Structure 1
Amino acid sequence: MSETILDTYVRLHPQSAALYEESLRVFPSGVTHDVRYVTPFPIFVERAEAAHKYDVDGNELVDFVMGHGALFMGHAHPDVTAAIVEQAKKGTHFGANHRLELAWGRRVKELVPCAEEVRFTSSGTEATLMAIRLARAHTGRDRLLKFDHHFHGWHDAVVGSREPEAENPESAGVPSATMSNTVSIPQGDIDAVEERLATGEFATLILEPTGAGWGSLPLDPAFLSALRTATTRHNTVLIFDEVVTGFRVSPGGTQARYGVTPDLTTLAKILAGGMPGGAVCGRGDIISMIEFRDSPWNARKRVQHPGTFNANPVSAAAGDAMLAMVATEEHHARANALNERLVRELNGVLERTGVPGVVYGLASYFHIALGREAPRPQAGIEWPGPEAPPSMPGKLNVALKRALINHGVDLMGGSGGFVSGVHTDADIDHAIKAFEAAVSELRAEHLV
């Protein structure tokens, strides 16, 4: 009997298996991020460079996880690494203002259309938390409108269900009183948005501007324009969560690509060059709610925002170096072209093999859905998408991830990924061959 996908995975990764056993005695389920949980165990990575990473068993992988989308210029980029090392030698935390935070903030203002003012945070979750608080303070309203399946971090205000009819939040531990202030509706229905906003109860509308799950359910850019009009009419703060899309779909993010400017934008990932860091930027009259003024203002109206690691010097150094490369646009052109080829060729594999599914994406990210009939892309990789995000059964998703790892390719969550400015044609060639081999193995095991 030939070796199964799972058998091969276990055989190739004995050290990862051993480390996972140790991790189970330290961390819940042995992992430190939900998406890294993989059965029977995840791989453990030793080092990484450019578009490749190397696990503890010596296996080399073409990486499309790219630090959960944070590494637009790949692993250990010389410019970013040099900036980090130079700053670390000078100090990692001054507990004071410094030149690098100013340079970093100026980069954001230069690139992001809405960025009249900037406030740094330590993560994307913190950025969305602060943006929502600012919107509430600015409008004097409590309620939050979001879209089903859109992800904005793990804090209480945004874990209202991604399912329209569900009665429970996505996580235990969220008070019902908090849930009552969050309303989630399907994306794409401007009449439903207008109906909610017309009540005058909503402080803000927050969304992923390329669609749910970083574009796994693509959003029509015309809908963004309609949202801009509706939120302006009803004095509701429009927040673009560009934690994933910021600096990726264009140097200025989705808002620059489509010419729709929100009131506030949340940023992270590429922003900090692969180091921890986030930001809220946007209209000066909203961001200025953080300003210190006179005593009555400070006591009653000011939005507080401490944070030990806000704009820490090492993240600022990495972020400034990264955004300097982002600003040139040349790396976007390369990454986008490689991603378009990857999407086209992977769809070609599905067509040749007769396996139902679809591969699609935008700019330098892509998504894969197998095991179901799905529309083919109609216009390159800017595919309009189905009624809900394509998804694979959990068993198939995990099997695809294992099979691709066995063939030297790692995907984000097993069903998508990010192409960087340092991936090569050879990397794309390898990924195509690995995908074809993986699909063949999935079929042999009657999973597709």
Structure 2
Amino acid sequence: MDSIPPTNSPIVAAFIAHTPGSAAAYAEACEHFPGGVTHDTRYVRPHPLAIARAAGPRKWDVDGNEYVDYAGGHGALILGHAHPAVTAAVAEQLAKGTHYGANHALENRWAALIKSMVPSAEMIRFTNSGTEATLMALRVARAATGRKKLLRLRGHFHGWHDHVAFGVTNHFDGTPTPGILEGLSDNVLLADPNDEAGLSALMAAHGSEIAAAILEPTGSTYGQVPLRESFVHLLRAETAKHGAVLVFDEVVTGFRVSKGGAQEVLGIRPDLTTLAKILAGGLPGGAVVGRRDLLELLDLERAAARGVEKIPHQGTYNANPLSAAAGIATLEILRDTDAIARAHATAATLRGAMNAVLDEMSVPWAVYGSHTGVHIFTNWKRLPITPASFDPLAMGYADLKVPRGLQTVTRLLLAMRTHGVDFSPWPGGPVSAVHGPAEVDATITAFRAALRDLRAEGEIA
């Protein structure tokens, strides 16, 4: 492991003193994994947390420290950690076998449940992850249209496969990141979020060449850069006009914005939708759902009847029985209870309480978001704002997207962890249905303490 750079930061020193077991685990991890992590967003210096167990809205590290958790399994755990109904369903299936290499009854139940909840789901193809789902959706769109070009929005994340691995946190000019072929990136058109005039002009110039347009329907990073509803409706109209396939990436928003996803709230029927995370109840799993005529290109007989070659698709763990069991248990709870509404209400309470702390301490930041999302705007450009005057829709993605490695954000995250709260690194996080008043109170106490720590170090005025 590289040596940790020396620091005179009391925040960093306090975190190191608080988490010696995590430091030791990270030293070992660096012997095994590039950067010592198995997911890019877990990387942080001096070291990430090493977690030993989790339950409900909380988790505990290897040193025994307790955290209110806003990582949420990277957004997969709307019911919190180790929900009893989900773990019971998985345990029951585990005793029956983990992999049949064959069709099974649970995949039918899972699919029927999805179709009953997601407005656009005429047919379904399961995948192993969200990345695989978006890859499949774009492949289906190209096969259906015979076109090459794809339209994406700057800053929107759709996984790590070649067509989407640039223009997210960098390379906003469309040039490829390492390992991506220039010829591939040349067939991707990037548009600015909320630029309706720019979108119309791009579609007028290239609409007949575009196979698919894909977006996160509430905005990138679950609304960190929110989209105007009018922009999404315009994209629906433009894709329909030019015969391009509209893909809603609801890997995060699916079953979190509403039972039917963002598409239900927006009143928009996309041609294809990609799902993962909550879909599989916190286990690996994803899906492409949408128009029957598009997904029938994966059907050997239907493709042959249409005189075209079938799109090949395998996947060892597609519709894995354990993922299906967890997914069914989770979706039934979301369908039959007020879990989503409770998560929305707690998130709104938390956002309001955090903004009250910012006002109280005269910190020119803001906390915003919608549905279950919480986003902390750390005002790294030092704009003249208050929580009450802040309007994220008036800002561009370059203002709202925090540059990777920004010291203030890193120290905020470390201070929050030292005070017992683990936020996602953007910074913010999704709220679950099991976060309640105790978690809100603990988060507010930690937030106030972290801001005091930052002020003492001169990170905020």
- Which category describes the TM-score, using the shorter chain as reference length? over 0.9
Which of 316, 321, 337 pairs up with 2:324? 316
Which of 139, 148, 156 pairs up with 1:150? 156
Equivalent position of 1:341 in the other structure: 349
Q: Does 1:390 align with 2:400?
A: yes
Q: CA deviation at 1:352?
A: 1.3
1:157-196 alignment runs, 5 A limit: 157-162=163-168, 166=173, 168-169=175-176, 171-196=177-202
Which of 101, 113, 120 pairs up with 1:95? 101
Which of 428, 434, 449 pairs up with 1:422? 434
Tell me, in whole angstroms, the C-alpha distance in 2 between the residues paired with 1:191 and 1:443: 42
Tell me, in whole angstroms, the C-alpha distance in 2 between the residues paired with 1:124 and 1:48: 23
Q: Does 1:212 align with 2:187?
A: no
Q: Does 1:264 align with 2:272?
A: yes
Q: Deviations over 1:219-252 (max 9, x none)?
A: 1112211111111111010000011111001111
Q: Does 1:332 align with 2:344?
A: no
Tell me, in whole angstroms, the C-alpha distance in 2 between the residues paired with 1:295 and 1:207: 27
Q: CA deviation at 1:353?
A: 1.0
Equivalent position of 2:232 in the other structure: 224
CA RMSD of aligned residues (A): 2.0
For the residue of structure 1 that corresponds to 2:189, the secondary structure is strand
Q: Which amino acid aligns with 2:238?
A: A
- Cα–Cα, structure 1 residues 273 and 405, in superposed 2: closer, same or farther, change >3 Å? same
Q: Does 1:37 align with 2:50?
A: no
Which of 407, 420, 433 pairs up with 1:408? 420
Which of 365, 368, 372 pairs up with 1:364? 372
In 2, are the aligned partners of 1:148 and 1:164 still within 8 Å (CA)?
A: no
For the residue of structure 2 that corresponds to 1:384, the secondary structure is helix
Tell me, in whole angstroms, the C-alpha distance in 1 between the residues paired with 2:212 and 2:104: 33
Q: Which amino acid aligns with 2:309?
A: K
Q: CA deviation at 1:28?
A: 0.4
Q: Does 1:399 align with 2:411?
A: yes
Q: Deviations over 1:351-388 (max 9, x none)?
A: 11111211101101111021433655679x99535122
Which of 52, 60, 81 pairs up with 1:54? 60
Bigger shift: 296-305 or 228-237? 296-305
Tell me, in whole angstroms, the C-alpha distance in 2 between the residues paired with 1:378 and 1:11: 37
Tell me, in whole angstroms, the C-alpha distance in 1 between the residues paired with 2:372 and 2:70: 10
Q: CA deviation at 1:167?
A: 5.1
Q: Does 1:137 align with 2:140?
A: no
For the residue of structure 1 that corresponds to 2:325, the secondary structure is helix
- Cα–Cα, structure 1 residues 383 and 189, in superposed 2: closer, same or farther, change >3 Å? closer
TM-score normalised by length of structure 2: 0.93
Tell me, in whole angstroms, the C-alpha distance in 1 between the residues paired with 2:363 and 2:185: 41
In 1, are the aligned partners of 2:296 and 2:303 still within 8 Å (CA)?
A: no
Q: Deviations over 1:108-151 (max 9, x none)?
A: 10111110011100000000000000000111101000000000
Tell me, in whole angstroms, the C-alpha distance in 1 between the residues paired with 2:411 and 2:98: 42
In 1, are the aligned partners of 2:392 and 2:400 still within 8 Å (CA)?
A: no
- Cα–Cα, structure 1 residues 111 and 165, in superposed 2: closer, same or farther, change >3 Å? closer
Bigger shift: 381-390 or 252-261? 381-390
In 2, are the aligned partners of 1:404 and 1:435 still within 8 Å (CA)?
A: yes
For the residue of structure 1 that corresponds to 2:95, the secondary structure is helix
Tell me, in whole angstroms, the C-alpha distance in 2 between the residues paired with 1:220 and 1:294: 38
For the residue of structure 1 that corresponds to 2:248, the secondary structure is strand
Tell me, in whole angstroms, the C-alpha distance in 2 between the residues paired with 1:318 and 1:100: 10
For the residue of structure 1 that corresponds to 2:459, the secondary structure is coil
Tell me, in whole angstroms, the C-alpha distance in 1 between the residues paired with 2:201 and 2:301: 37
In 2, are the aligned partners of 1:398 and 1:414 still within 8 Å (CA)?
A: no
Q: Does 1:121 align with 2:98?
A: no
Consecutive unaligned residues of structure 2, counting only runs of 5 or more, are 1-7
Q: Which amino acid aligns with 2:201?
A: E
Tell me, in whole angstroms, the C-alpha distance in 2 between the residues paired with 1:413 and 1:165: 20
Consecutive unaligned residues of structure 1, counting only runs of 5 or more, are none
Q: Which amino acid aligns with 1:350?
A: L
Q: Does 1:446 align with 2:458?
A: yes
Which of 279, 292, 301 pairs up with 2:300? 292
In 1, are the aligned partners of 2:359 and 2:386 still within 8 Å (CA)?
A: no
Equivalent position of 2:443 in the other structure: 431
Q: Does 1:275 align with 2:287?
A: no
Q: CA deviation at 1:295?
A: 8.7
Q: Which amino acid aligns with 1:301?
A: E
For the residue of structure 2 that corresponds to 1:41, the secondary structure is coil
1:16-31 alignment runs, 5 A limit: 16-31=22-37
Q: Which amino acid aligns with 1:80?
A: V
Bigger shift: 218-227 or 404-413? 218-227
Q: Which amino acid aligns with 2:383?
A: E
For the residue of structure 1 that corresponds to 2:351, the secondary structure is helix
Bigger shift: 53-62 or 192-201? 192-201
- Cα–Cα, structure 1 residues 96 and 193, in superposed 2: closer, same or farther, change >3 Å? same
Q: Does 1:7 align with 2:7?
A: no
Tell me, in whole angstroms, the C-alpha distance in 1 between the residues paired with 2:383 and 2:57: 32
Bigger shift: 91-100 or 292-301? 292-301
In 2, are the aligned partners of 1:59 and 1:408 still within 8 Å (CA)?
A: yes
Q: Which amino acid aligns with 1:280?
A: V
Tell me, in whole angstroms, the C-alpha distance in 1 between the residues paired with 2:197 and 2:19: 52
In 1, are the aligned partners of 2:166 and 2:172 still within 8 Å (CA)?
A: no
Count of aligned pairs between the two proteins:
445
Tell me, in whole angstroms, the C-alpha distance in 1 between the residues paired with 2:248 and 2:386: 28
- Cα–Cα, structure 1 residues 309 and 391, in superposed 2: closer, same or farther, change >3 Å? same
TM-score normalised by length of structure 1: 0.95
- Cα–Cα, structure 1 residues 62 and 385, in superposed 2: closer, same or farther, change >3 Å? farther
